[in-house]
């Protein structure tokens, strides 16, 4: 077996064993969430900030199933449509337990859930100034991605396709451009539909992939979590190994010398 050099994924000063980050939404129940997260091997999970249920005190809570001391919680701003809402949410997340590492996501349209980049850039600037480490969900525009990096984003997270669509990587060229120009990690976030999509993203040279719906909405989420774990390792190794050159013509695999 080839001994691989230890390939550590570092984001915002944290070293992660896995290049897969998983979302914790859309699961049947918290038991399934916890099992899927475990099967995925992810060290980091995204979580949302919402009102607690005052009336039902016995309702199970996420932290009982996923220990924030053992797995890194990445609070998000899902559902926020402007800078004020996003900042309010992340400041509350920080107050909850000192979370400074956050995922910023400012949406612009209810049907496509496309990010509002003007509000996203505005929020990034403010959050960085307040000492947050911001991983930013964004469009796949290389100029806007660079702008986020220049404004102190800890990771650039372009969408593969709309959130929850499962359409996979729609613009490999742009994602490639972003990877080549970025000094901070590039993590494909949103739109991945199946394990092979994640492999393609990793083969392009992405530093990581964030998955929620593709695992949670699979017929067997826990098995799909395993599939993603392997797909990402596979894609990463393939990227590191360096693919062969493409050619329009054939090249025999067996030597032509000594043919009988």
Applying CB under 8 A, the residues found at the interface with another protein are 23-27, 30, 33, 46-52, 54, 57, 61-63, 68, 73, 75-76, 78, 88, 91-93, 95-97, 163-164, 190, 210, 212-213
Nearer to another protein, 63 or 176 (CB): 63
The distance of closest approach from Cβ of residue 93 to another protein in the complex, given in angstroms and rounded to an integer, is 7
Nearer to another protein, 49 or 169 (CB): 49
Dist CA 194 CA 214 (whole Å): 6
Strand stretches in 63-182, DSSP E? 72-75, 101-104, 133-138, 155-158
- The two tokens of residue 183 are 């000094």
What number of other Cβ atoms are within 10 A of residue 12's Cβ?
18
Nearer to another protein, 55 or 143 (CB): 55
Q: Is 229 considered catalytic here?
A: no
Dist CA 135 CA 186 (whole Å): 9
Longest CA span, the chain = 84
The distance of closest approach from Cβ of residue 178 to another protein in the complex, given in angstroms and rounded to an integer, is 21
Dist CA 101 CA 202 (whole Å): 23
The distance of closest approach from Cβ of residue 152 to another protein in the complex, given in angstroms and rounded to an integer, is 22
The distance of closest approach from Cβ of residue 82 to another protein in the complex, given in angstroms and rounded to an integer, is 15
The distance of closest approach from Cβ of residue 168 to another protein in the complex, given in angstroms and rounded to an integer, is 16
Nearer to another protein, 31 or 173 (CB): 31
The active-site residue out of 3, 57, 69, 103 is: 103
Q: Roughly what angle, to the nearest 10 degrees, separates helices 117-129 and 142-150? A: 20
Helix (H) or strand (E) holding 208, with range, is strand 208-211
Exposure string (b/e) for 134-162, b if CB count within 10 Å is 16 or more? bbbbbbbebebbbbbbebbbbbbbbbbbb
Nearer to another protein, 76 or 233 (CB): 76
Report CA 235 to chain centroid distance, whole Å: 15
Q: Which residues are catalytic?
A: 103
């Amino acid at each position: 077996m080839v001994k691989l050099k230890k390939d550590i994924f570092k984001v915002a000063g944290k070293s992660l064993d896995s290049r897969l980050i998983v979302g914790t939404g859309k699961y049947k129940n918290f038991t399934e969430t916890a099992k899927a997260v475990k099967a995925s091997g992810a060290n980091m999970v995204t979580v949302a900030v919402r009102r607690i249920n005052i009336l039902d005190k016995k309702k199970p809570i996420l932290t009982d199933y996923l220990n924030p001391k053992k797995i890194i919680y990445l609070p998000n701003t899902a559902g926020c449509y402007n800078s004020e809402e996003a900042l309010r949410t992340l400041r509350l997340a920080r107050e909850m337990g000192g979370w400074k590492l956050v995922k910023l996501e400012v949406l612009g349209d209810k049907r496509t859930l496309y990010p509002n980049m003007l509000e996203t850039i505005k929020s990034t600037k403010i959050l960085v100034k307040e000492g947050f480490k911001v991983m930013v969900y964004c469009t796949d525009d290389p100029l806007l991605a660079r702008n986020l990096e220049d404004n102190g984003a800890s990771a650039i997270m372009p969408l593969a396709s709309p959130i929850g669509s499962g359409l996979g990587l729609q613009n490999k060229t742009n994602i490639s451009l972003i990877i080549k120009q970025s000094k901070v990690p590039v993590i494909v976030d949103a739109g991945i539909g199946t394990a092979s999509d994640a492999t393609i993203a990793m083969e392009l040279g992405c530093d990581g992939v964030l998955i929620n719906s593709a695992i949670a909405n699979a017929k067997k989420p826990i098995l799909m979590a395993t599939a993603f774990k392997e797909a990402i390792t596979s894609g990463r190794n393939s990227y590191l190994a360096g693919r062969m050159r493409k050619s329009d013509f054939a090249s025999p695999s067996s030597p032509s010398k000594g043919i009988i």
